[in-house]
Amino acid sequence: MVSSSITNKKAEFQAVLQPVEGSMVHHVIPVPLDVCTLFRENKGAIRILCSIKGLEEFPCALNPREDRYVIMASKQLIKKHKLLTDVPFVVSIRSDLNDGLEIPDELLEVLNQDDHFRSMFDALLPGHKRGILYYIRTAKSVDTRIKRCLDLAYKIKAGLLHYQQPKE
């Protein structure tokens, strides 16, 4: 089932987890061509929100890989959703109107209290922001998310993150 509106595209399809050769990615979820056509606007990855087997949505991307688009499946995702190769499952996706940049409440509070941190965070590239947001969101407890936010605020203001270092 595929549906679309100007601001929010949605699709649901049956998929099968597929192993791939490679050092970084070991499994992918292939996305049917008609679904990719609906979502694709430009070249490159397309930010989406995904739900597998009707469970909680998570931000990810439709990634171009050879002649198709796929969703990367981490070991954590496979374990959480109990995915097996060759066993079909339902995938629901929709446009991510925030481009994967929805800010957790804990980080928003730190940003609101520290203008210098906010200006430096706002200046980061979208991919760097997504990595930071993923790191914060993956913490299981509120206390850990707060600690990660405060640690990141210190590191970003001190220029300690690897992409803030001058290139040699």
- The reported pLDDT for the residue numbered 148 is 94
CA distance 148 to 86: 38
pTM confidence score: 0.69
Which of 36, 54, 55, 34 has the alpha carbon at shortest distance from 46?
Answer: 36
DSSP state of 17: B
pLDDT tens track for 111-136:
999 999 999 999 888 888 888 988 89
The confidence score (pLDDT) of residue 4 equals 42
| pLDDT at site 109 | 94
Q: How far is Cα 2 from Cα 9, in angstroms, rounded to an integer?
A: 8
Specify the residue for token string 């930010």: 47
Adjacent-strand bridge partners of 63: 70
Stretches in the chain below the pLDDT threshold 50: 2-6
Q: CB–CB of 3/10 below 8 Å?
A: yes
